[in-house]
Amino acid sequence: HFLQAWKAAHKFLEFREKQELQKNTVSRKETIELWDSVEAAVKAAKNAFPIWSSKSPLERSQILNKLADLIEHDLEAFAQAESKDQGKTITFARTVDIPRAVYNFRFFASSILHHTAECTEMATMGCVHYTSRAPVGVAGLISPWNLPLYLLTWKIAPAIACGNTVVAKPSEMTSVTAWMMCKLLEKAGVPHGVVNVVFGMGTKAGEALVCHPDVPLISFTGSTLTAQRITEKSAPHCKRLSLELGGKNPAIVFDDADLAQCIPTTLRSSFANQGEICLCTSRIFVQRGIYSEFLKRFVAEAKKWKVGNPSDPTVDVGALISKESYVKKAQAEGARVLCGEGVDSLALPAGNRKGYFMLPTVIAEVKDESCCMQEEIFGPVTCVVAFDTEEEVIERANSVKYGLAATVWSSNVGRVHRVAKRLQSGLVWTNCWLVRDLNLPFGGMKASGVGREGSFVFFNQVSHKLVHIPQKEK
Ligand code: NAD
């Protein structure tokens, strides 16, 4: 796996260099070379599957724990690399990305030891039914750039814990920490071929994986558009698909909400990791009675967020992966930008002035049909609008194509349950944000996803066995 990854990484870097030189023209030969590295990785994973899947859960668990220890030992180096590669702040990489990558391996290493099967007994028929789990085979794992190692390991850990072997493709924009992890696999005792990482463009390496007949399972996290293409391309093979996609997540703030708790959390849910988390809030519905007060306090606090060099530990917002253009569109539609882009000036250190930096931006008086209220922005931009009734806000919160995550703020227990039940959202937090329990399945509704990840259900095939027990010996 290590050599495989190394060769593939070098091939890819050469490829990217050539591609730039040739002004993005890809020759047939280069396409074939990338296909070759996916082909070799799938072959290695397929060969490793029989031995890896027959290891005991305890053996696999020990290897996962060792890998977690090794990543944790190098936490600072991983955090530095993640911050430099992605643009996120060093503080976020140190406290969220890399610790979570470590936790992913530890959690699934422990979880695999505590698996139980379901069993029912039909006494009158003399039958016992039970479920049996088996790994699927070679798992194709494709991840995005926003939480590079965090999301990649969230796929690798459960997949290998239950006995699959994997071919993983990190985003071409942020592959460095995946490459660093490859260097630790051997030391952790991961057998050759169990974890293979291919580096390359989505349309080439990613698609080669999606179309490969020996990869029966694809776990994808990324945009809804790419997911549509993956669905089409994998359809002839009837693959098992999990698609974790974009969001346009609402926060609903009722007038009995505890604003002292709600405002700092909603600032975080809007601007953490530069707003580049699929679960970030980008539509804040505030009940009319507290709308002015909320807006005043929210904008005053947003202005305190420091934007600048991602390596500076005092910085809250680092660099964006690409240029953001939604704010101008919102202004053209008549919305009011209360702070941030185009309103306040951003003083950057000399070395960062050519980067994509943006102040946390709050937009108000924006129509529900506006592109800023309908499309995923994936930047530090949030819209704040007023509402009157519970019925109205549920309808407006649901009136987007996405359904990933929502937050509800209220001290009325009955109301939070009522609203949470009716929100078309894979995940609803009440009076908090980003609190996750990895025991529970994760995924979106509508254009935010298909399937559920985060538990062993997706990475195992479950079969039903029935045993008839004769009531007398013949
Ligand atoms: P993207 O769809 O452009 O790319 C994601 C991955 O898919 C990358 O590795 C890319 O190389 C690969 N890819 C691209 N085209 C492909 C193809 N034709 N076949 C196979 N693979 C292909 O997404 P992105 O810009 O990297 O990530 C941002 C998106 O990810 C946002 O929409 C965000 O909401 C979403 N996201 C969702 C979740 C979630 O859990 N729901 C989590 C993080 C990010």
**What would the DSSP string read from start to end of 236-280?**
GGT-EEEEE----EEEEE-TTS-HHHHHHHHHHHHHGGGG-STT-
Burial class (CB in 10 A: 0-12, 13-18, 19+), 365: middle
Residue 134: φ, ψ to 5°: -145, 145
- Distance from Cα 421 to the centre of ligand 1, integer Å: 29
Q: 257 near 285, Cβ under 8 Å?
A: no
What is the spatial distance between Cα 355 and Cα 87, in angstroms, rounded to a whole number?
9
Nearest CA to 136 among 52, 36, 59?
52
Task: Give the pLDDT confidence score for residue 3 in this predicted structure.
Answer: 45
Distances (CA, A) of 370 to 247, 294, 331: 16, 22, 11
Q: Tokens representing 184? A: 């630790």
**Looking at this protein, which amino acid is placed at residue 4?**
Q
- Distance from Cα 227 to the centre of ligand 1, integer Å: 8
* Residues contacting 59, CB < 8 A, separation 6+: none
User: What's the whole-model pTM score?
Assistant: 0.93
Q: Is the CB of 276 under 6 A from ligand 1?
A: no
What is the spatial distance between Cα 337 and Cα 124, in angstroms, rounded to a whole number?
70
Residue 280: φ, ψ to 5°: -65, 145
Q: Tokens representing 153? A: 């390991």
What is the spatial distance between Cα 35 and Cα 11, in angstroms, rounded to a whole number?
11
Q: Is the CB of 202 under 6 A from ligand 1?
A: yes
Residue 451: φ, ψ to 5°: 90, 170
Q: Is the CB of 229 under 6 A from ligand 1?
A: yes
| Residue from 82, 172, 207, 244 carrying the catalytic annotation | 244
What is the spatial distance between Cα 37 and Cα 41, in angstroms, rounded to a whole number?
6
What is the spatial distance between Cα 372 and Cα 366, in angstroms, rounded to a whole number?
8
**Active-site annotation holds for 244:** yes
- Pairing relation of β-strands 195-197 and 165-169? parallel
- Distance from Cα 322 to the centre of ligand 1, integer Å: 14
- Bridge partners (DSSP) of residue 384 are 284, 364
Task: Give the pLDDT confidence score for residue 327 in this predicted structure.
Answer: 87
Task: List, for residues 250-280, the tens digit of each pLDDT value.
Answer: 999 999 999 999 999 999 999 999 999 999 9
Q: Is the CB of 427 under 6 A from ligand 1?
A: no
Taking the CA of residue 227 as reference, the ligand 1 atom at the shortest distance is: 2
What is the spatial distance between Cα 458 and Cα 135, in angstroms, rounded to a whole number?
10
Burial class (CB in 10 A: 0-12, 13-18, 19+), 25: exposed
Ligand 1, pocket-test mutation among 169, 201, 226, most atoms within 8 A of CB: 226
Q: 454 near 154, Cβ under 8 Å?
A: yes
- Distance from Cα 244 to the centre of ligand 1, integer Å: 9
What is the spatial distance between Cα 260 and Cα 105, in angstroms, rounded to a whole number?
35
Task: Give the pLDDT confidence score for residue 1 in this predicted structure.
Answer: 42
For the chain, how many helices (H) and strands (E)? 16, 18
Q: Is the CB of 234 under 6 A from ligand 1?
A: no
Residue 442: φ, ψ to 5°: -125, 140
Q: 113 near 62, Cβ under 8 Å?
A: no
Residues of the chain with pLDDT under 70: 1-35
Q: Is the CB of 246 under 6 A from ligand 1?
A: yes
Percent of the chain as helix, strand, coil, to the nearest 5 = 45, 20, 35
Task: Give the pLDDT confidence score for residue 333 in this predicted structure.
Answer: 87
Taking the CA of residue 224 as reference, the ligand 1 atom at the shortest distance is: 32
Q: 155 near 234, Cβ under 8 Å?
A: no
Task: Give the pLDDT confidence score for residue 49 in this predicted structure.
Answer: 98
Alpha helices by DSSP H, listed for 132-258, are 148-161, 176-188, 207-210, 224-234
Q: Tokens representing 426? A: 């894979």
Q: Is the CB of 311 under 6 A from ligand 1?
A: no
Cα 73 to the chain's mean position, in Å? 24
Q: Tokens representing 412? A: 């009325």
- Distance from Cα 415 to the centre of ligand 1, integer Å: 35
What is the H or E stretch that residue 119 is in?
A: strand 119-122
